[in-house]
Amino acid sequence: MAVRTIREEGDEILRKKSREVEVIDEKIKELIEDMIETMHKANGVGLSAVQVGILKRIVVIDLYDEKGPIRLINPVITKTKGEQEVEEGCLSFPNQYGKIIRPAEVTVEALNENGEKIKIKAKGLLAQAISHELDHLEGILFVDNIIPGTLQYVEPEEK
C-alpha cells in the first residue's frame, strides 16, 4: 500500500467526470487500499479516486467506527430524503470550510471490492460524505454548492 498525492484546488482533473470501472482486478483493489491509507493519513472521512488523479468511479469513506472503511465502486445514489445544513470541508481544499445543503438521507447502490452489489441506506454524516464524494465523480466540488458567504479559511494548526 502507498500514500498517494491528493490533488488540490486548481488541478484541472478535479473538474473531470470519472469513468465506470469495467473490471475489478488487483490494480483496482490496490488503488482502493492506497486511497484508504491516503485518506487516513490526511485525517479525512472520504476520498474519491479523482482526488488522487485517477478518473475512475471509486469512493472510500471511513467514519472511524466499528464498521471500518466503506469501499464503493460505480456508486449511484438511487434515493434521497430531506435536507440537512452541514459544515463541510474537502481534502482537495485544505483548511477551507463552508456550509452546504445536503440530503439528510441517501440510498446508494454500488459494487464492493469483490464485485458484489451492495446497497447502503445512510443518514447524517454518512449521507453527507456519500453525497460529497459522489459529486467528485461528476467533477462537482463542494465550493460549487456552498451557501454564499459561509466559506472560510482556517489556519492550520502547527504540528
Q: Which residues are catalytic?
A: 133
Phi and psi at residue 48, in whole multiples of 5°? -105, 155
CB-based contacts of 86: which residues, under 8 Å, 6+ apart? 99, 100, 101, 102, 128
CB-based contacts of 115: which residues, under 8 Å, 6+ apart? 24, 73
Contact status, residue 129 vs residue 63, Cβ threshold 8 Å: yes
Write out the three cell numbers for 51: 482526488
The rounded Cα 55 to chain-centroid distance in angstroms is 13
DSSP 156: P
